[in-house]
Structure 1
Amino acid sequence: MEWLVPVLIVGAVLVIVGIYLWATYNSLVSLNTRVDEAWSGITVQLTRRADLIPNLIETVKGYAAHEKSVLENVTRARSEVIAAQSPAAAGQAEGHLQQALKSLFAVAESYPALQASQNYLQLQQSLVDAEDKIQASRRFYNGGVRELNIKIRQFPNNLFANGLGFSAREFFEVEDQSTISQPPRVQF
C-alpha cells in the first residue's frame, strides 16, 4: 500500500504533462494553420494585383510605346512576384515591383491623354485597392507568424516544438523598406 502513493503521484504528473503536451500541440497546429491560411491570402492578393498589371501595361503602351524599358521592367517585376514561393522571395520581388510601378506612373504623368483615359483611371483605382488588400493581408500574416514564433520559442515549448515538426516562420517583409514607404503615386 505504501507504493500506491508514489505511483499515483507519478501517474498524476504524467497525466498533467500529457494534457499540457496535447494542449500545446493543438495550439501550435492551430497557429501553424492560421499562418498558412494568411500566406494563402497574401498570394491571392499578389496574384490579383499581378493580373491587373498586363492591362495597365497595354493601356500605357497605347500612349507611350517608346517607353519600352519601363514596360519591360514592370513585366519582369510582375513575373518575380508571381514566381515567389517564400515570404523572403516575395518581399524582394515586392520591392522590385514597387520600383517598377513608380517608374511606370512617372512615365504616365507625361501623357495627359493617358491620364484622362477612363480605362487607365479604373486600373489605377484597382491597383490602389489591391495594394490596400496586400497590406492588410501582410499585417494578418505577420501577426500570425509572430504568435506562432513566440509560442515555439517559449519555455518549455521550445524543448519539444522542433521535435514535433514546428519551426519558426519568416515574416513577409519588403527587402528595401523605402520602396513601400511611399506607395506609387496615383493622380486622378
Structure 2
Amino acid sequence: MSRRIAVTLALTVPLAACGINSVPTAEENAKARWADVQNQYQRRADLIPNLVATVKAAGAQEKDVLVQVTQARAAANTVRVSGDDLSDPAKVQQFERTQGALGLSLQRLQEAYPELRSQGNYTTLMSQLEGTENRISVARNDYNQAVQAYNTRIRTFPDAVGARIFYGAKPLVPFQATPGAETAPTVNFGNAG
C-alpha cells in the first residue's frame, strides 16, 4: 500500500508542475473577465433605449442621429462572442467593430445635443453612460490582463507541457484598439467659423 502511495505522489508532483490545475484556472479567469466585459456592454445597451426616449422628447429634427444610435445598438446586440470564441481573432474583431460603432454613434449623439445637457433626465443618462464607458474600459483592461496571464502560462515551461498535452490550449485574443483610435475625434457643435 505504501508503494502505491509513493507512486501516486511521484506521478502527482510532475503533473502538478505541468499546468494541470493552473491552465484551466487561468482560462476560466480569462473567460470570467470576458463575461464582465459583456456585462458592461449589456449595461450600456440597456441604457440606450432610455436615452433615445429622452432625446426623442426634445424634437423630431434629431431623428437621423437617433436612427444611427438605434441601428448601432441593434448591430452590437447581434454579435456574440462566447468564451470558446476567444481564440478566434476574427470573431473578437467583429465584436470590437460593432461595439466601436455603437460608441461612435453615442459620441455623435453627445455632440449633436449640447442643448439637452440642461435637461435632468438627459444629464443623468449621459452620466450613467459615461460611467458605463469607464466600466467597459476597466473590464476590457482586466480581461486583457487575464488573457496575458493565460497566454503566458500556456507558452512557458512547465505549464506549456500540460497545456498542449491535456488541453490543446490555444492563445486567447486580447482587445486591441480599433483602427483610428489613435486619432482624437473632432468635436463640432456647429459654431466653428
TM-score range for the pair, normalised by the shorter chain length: 0.7 to 0.9
Q: Percent identity?
A: 28
CA distance in 1, matches of 2:118, 2:16: 65
Deviation at 1:131, TM superposition (A): 0.8
Which residue does the alignment assign to 1:60? 55
- Root-mean-square deviation over aligned CA pairs: 2.7
TM-score when normalising by structure 2: 0.76
| Contact kept? 1:90, 1:172, Cα under 8 Å | no
| Residue among 100, 108, 123 paired with 1:121 | 123
Matched, 1:36 2:31: yes
Deviation at 1:42, TM superposition (A): 0.8
Which residue does the alignment assign to 2:179? 176
In structure 1, list runs of 5 or more residues that go unmatched. 1-10
CA distance in 2, matches of 1:73, 1:33: 36
In structure 2, list runs of 5 or more residues that go unmatched. 1-7, 82-91, 189-193
Q: Which has the larger radius of gyration?
A: 1
- Which structure is richer in relative contact order (CA contacts within 8 A, separation 6 or more)? 2
**Deviation per CA, 1:104-155, whole angstroms, max 9, x where unpaired?**
112112xx2x221110010011011111111111111000000101111224
TM-score when normalising by structure 1: 0.78
How many residues in Structure 1 have an aligned counterpart in Structure 2?
170
4+ residue runs of structure 1 moved beyond 3 angstroms? 11-16, 155-160, 179-182
Which residue does the alignment assign to 2:101? 96
The secondary structure found in structure 2 opposite 1:178 is coil
